[in-house]
Chains A and B, each alone.
Chain A
Amino acid sequence: MSDHTRLRIKFQKTGPIRYIGHLDVMRFFQKCVRRAGIDISYTGGFSPHQIMSFAAPLGVGLESLGEYMDIEVNDRLEAEEVSTPEKKPPFRIHSEILVQRLNEASVPGIRIVSVKKLPEDAENAMASVAAAEYQVTFREGRVPLLFQGDADTIQSAVRDFLALLAIPYLKEGKKGTREIDLRPGIYRLSWEPEKSALFMLLDASSAGNIKPGQVVEALLDRHGQSLAENALKILRLETYTAVEPEGKGERKLIPMDEVGESF
Chain B
Amino acid sequence: MTTEHLALSDDILMKIEKPARYIGQEYNAVIKGKDEVDVRFAMCFPDVYEIGMSHLGIQILYDMFNHMEGVWCERVYSPWLDLDAILRKEHIPLFALESQDPIKEFDFLGITLQYEMCYTNILQILDLSQIPLLGRERTEEDPIVIGGGPCAYNPEPIADFFDLFYIGEGETRYRDLIELYRKCREEGAGRKGFLLRAAQLPGIYVPSLYETVYHEDGTIASFQPVVENIPARIRKEVETELTDACYPLKPVVPYIKVTQDRVVLEIQRGCIRGCRFCQAGQIYRPVRERDLERLEEHALEMLKNTGHEELTLSSLSSSDYSRLPELIDYLIRECGQRHVNISLPSLRIDAFSLNVMSKVQDVRKSSLTFAPEAGSQRLRDVINKGLTEEDILRGAHLAFEGGWTRVKLYFMLGQPTETEEDIRGIAELCNKIAAEFYETVPKEKRVNGRVQIVASTSFFVPKPFTPFQWAPQCSKEEFLEKAYFTRRSIAEQLNQKSIKYNWHEADASVMEGVLARGDRRLGEVILKVYQKGCFYDAWSEYYKHDIWLETIRECGLSVDFYTTRERSLDEIFPWDFIDAGVSKEFLRREWLKAQEGKTSENCRVKCQGCGAAVFGAGICFAERSQRDE
Contact = CB atoms under 8 A, between A and B. Distances in A.
Contact of B20 (A21, A37, A105): A21
Contacts of B256: 24
Contacts of B20: 19-21, 24
Contacts of A90: none
Contacts of A19: 13, 19-20, 23
A30 interface: yes
Contact of B255 (A20, A42, A106, A108): A20
Interface in A21-49: 21, 24-25, 27-28, 30-35, 37, 42, 46-48
B14 A60 contact: yes
B6 to A, nearest CB: 5
A30 B307 contact: yes
A61 interface: yes
A37 B300 CA distance: 13
Nearest to B23: A16
A109 B365 CA distance: 38
Interface residues of A, number: 31
Interface in B281-335: 303-309
A32 B306 CA distance: 8
Interface in B23-54: 23-27
Contacts of B13: 19, 61
A245 to B, nearest CB: 41
B308 A15 contact: no
B3 A16 contact: yes
- Among A15, A16, A28, max chain B CB count under 10 A is at A16
A81 B14 CA distance: 41
B9 to A, nearest CB: 9
Given A20-B20, A48-B339, A60-B14, A108 B306 contact: no
Given A21-B20, A31-B27, A61 B253 contact: no
Contact of A33 (B4, B253, B307): B307
B309 A107 contact: no
Contacts of A15: 2, 4
A4 interface: no
B307 A46 contact: no
A82 interface: no
Contacts of B627: none
A148 interface: no
A230 B14 contact: yes
A46 B362 contact: yes
B423 to A, nearest CB: 39
Nearest to B22: A19
A167 interface: no
Contacts of A139: 10
A17 interface: yes
A230 B11 contact: yes
A109 B255 contact: no
Given A28-B255, A61-B14, A42 B27 contact: no
A19 B19 CA distance: 6
B1 interface: yes
Contact of B10 (A30, A32, A230): A230
Nearest to A48: B339
Nearest to A15: B4
Contacts of A229: 11
Contact of B27 (A21, A24, A30, A107): A107
Given A19-B19, A31-B308, A60-B19, A24 B10 contact: no
- Among B6, B20, B303, B308, max chain A CB count under 10 A is at B20
A108 B307 contact: no
A15 B6 CA distance: 10
A25 B14 CA distance: 17
Interface string B249-288: 0000101110000000000000000000000000000000
Interface string A66-110: 000000000000000000000000000000000000000111110
Given A15-B4, A16-B3, A27-B257, A107 B306 contact: no
Contacts of A28: 27, 255
Contacts of B307: 30-35, 105
A77 to B, nearest CB: 10
B617 to A, nearest CB: 36
Interface in A116-156: 139
B263 to A, nearest CB: 11
Nearest to B19: A19
B345 to A, nearest CB: 19
B489 to A, nearest CB: 37
Contacts of A31: 27, 253, 306-309
A35 B306 contact: yes
Contacts of A30: 307, 309
A105 B304 CA distance: 10
B12 to A, nearest CB: 10
A17 B25 contact: yes
Nearest to B11: A230
Contacts of B308: 31, 34
Given A42-B339, A105-B307, A61 B10 contact: yes
B155 to A, nearest CB: 37
- Among B1, B6, B20, B255, max chain A CB count under 10 A is at B255
Contacts of A35: 27, 304-307
Contacts of B306: 31, 35
Interface string B335-364: 000110000000000000000000000100
A128 to B, nearest CB: 27
Contacts of A33: 307
A153 B11 CA distance: 30
Contacts of B338: 34
A21 to B, nearest CB: 7
Contacts of A106: 27
Contacts of A230: 10-11, 14
- Among B23, B24, B303, B304, max chain A CB count under 10 A is at B23
A107 B26 contact: yes
A16 B6 contact: yes
B390 to A, nearest CB: 33
Nearest to B305: A35
Contacts of B1: 108
A28 B14 CA distance: 21
A74 to B, nearest CB: 11
Nearest to B100: A16
B14 to A, nearest CB: 5
Contacts of B4: 15-16
B86 to A, nearest CB: 14
5 contacts: A15-B2, A27-B255, A34-B338, A107-B26, A139-B10
Interface of A: 15-17, 19-21, 24-25, 27-28, 30-35, 37, 42, 46-48, 60-61, 105-109, 139, 229-230
The 5 closest A-B pairs by CB, nearest first: A31-B307, A34-B307, A108-B2, A19-B19, A35-B307
Given A108-B25, A139-B10, 15 more contacts: A17-B23, A19-B19, A20-B20, A20-B23, A25-B255, A27-B257, A28-B27, A30-B307, A30-B309, A31-B308, A34-B309, A46-B365, A61-B13, A105-B27, A108-B2
